[in-house]
Amino acid sequence: MPAHSGFLDFPAALPDDTRPRVVLFGAPHGSPYPGADPADFAGSAAAIRAASRADSQFLDSYDFDLGGPLFDGGEPCCVDAGDLPTSASDSAGNRRMIEEKTRAVLAAGAVPIMIGGDDSVPIPFFQGFAGHGPVWILQIDAHIDWREERFGEPMGYSSTMRRASEMGHVAGIVQAGIRGVGSARPAEVEAARAWGAHLVTAREIHAGGVEMALRHIPEGANVIITLDCDGLDPSITPGVAGRAPGGLSYQQAIDLIAGVSRRGRLAGFDLIEYLPGADVDGITALTAARLIVNAIGHIVRQERDGQG
């Protein structure tokens, strides 16, 4: 039987008496638009897992992003449950699987980390937190994703934050890294602001630092971070469908993750919109893997500090 190929070589399960702190899983498909071919997104999680494995030998080494080893002197406490058996032709089934998996991870007392998949997979991920609210969402993205529908599909990647705003357990939304045309018409911008979403452009963060986004999150809030790879500058994440210059830096991205964990509690994390076929020398997969490592490290430290 082939060895389990988990992120950082994490196992598929821990011993029965050990509670995982983090459960990572892949969601290859969400709700694609009619005629779209999401085949390249289906390999995103595998590519990111592969990029992580060179560092699996260094789990006890000092990580300067985190100020200590990944597990902070404790025992490894993460599992990689593999990819959900999603299908490009079953959007409703995909959403059901993602929501059910998220609910199961939370019910087990762990923090879910999901690797997509296009930007429609966070919709059921957010919905899985119903009963665990209120939650805030910090979206890192070049686009605001407030379309009511596109091509007749209301659950696609252009509607992610609009659908999140309709969930009763979502208390607030901060959207960071927006730039360029932002994939929005004036009506969507007005709808987002009318709801109360805080739209923080990449320019504002470059000028004023990550606090420009973090200041909107209440102290002690439970926060889901959804990170679209095109929220970062294409110099470090070229493997995306819509490259846009002027994105956030790696340092700004990990400072947002750290800032959420300091200000409140990182309750969930997803990383989506990595397109392996558009990558350059694997740099996006490497960056994505390091971002996930940072999320895991801060989740581990939350439990140490009594936030878990």
CATH, residue 120: 3.40.800.10
* Across 102-128, average pLDDT: 97
What was the pLDDT predicted at 307? 61
The token pair that represents 23 in the structure block: 């459960």
Q: What's the pLDDT band for 182 if we cut at 50, 70, 90?
A: confident
Confidence check: pLDDT of 286 > 60:
yes
Query: Taking 90 as the threshold, does the pLDDT of residue 5 lie above it?
Result: no
DSSP 149: -
Q: Are 266 and 227 in contact (CB under 8 A)?
A: no
Range of the domain at 274: 7-304
How many domains does the chain divide into? Answer: 1
Spatial strand order in the sheet of 111-116: 78-83, 22-27, 111-116, 265-272, 222-228, 135-140, 170-178, 198-201
What percentage of the chain has pLDDT greater than the value 70?
A: 97
Q: Provide mean pLDDT across the span 233-256.
A: 97
Task: Choose the most confident range, by mean pLDDT, from 3-7, 18-22, 32-36, 188-192.
Answer: 188-192
Distance, C-alpha 85 to centroid of its chain = 19
In a domain, 96, yes or no: yes
Residue that wins the pLDDT comparison between 127 and 307: 127
For residue 7, the model assigns a pLDDT of 97
What pLDDT digit, counting tens, does each position of 42-72 carry?
999 999 999 999 999 999 999 999 999 999 9
pLDDT at 226: 98
User: Do you find a cis peptide bond into 32, omega within 30 degrees of 0?
Assistant: no
**For 71-113, how does the pLDDT look when each residue is reduced to its tens digit (9 = 90+)?**
998 888 899 999 999 999 999 999 999 999 999 999 999 999 9
In a domain, 48, yes or no: yes
- Specify the pTM: 0.96
Pair 267, 223: CB distance under 8 Å:
yes
Q: Is residue 16 part of a domain?
A: yes
H or E element at residue 267 = strand 265-272
Q: Tell whether 169 is covered by a domain.
A: yes
The answer as to whether 171 is a domain residue is yes
| Residue at 2 is within a domain | no
Whether 100 maps to a domain, the answer reads yes
In the beta sheet, which residues pair with residue 116? Answer: 27
DSSP 31-93: -PPTT---TGGGGHHHHHHHHHGGGGGGTTS-BTTTTB-TTTTS---EEEEEE----TT-HHH
End-to-end CA distance of the chain: 36
According to the model, what pLDDT value does residue 1 have?
Answer: 35
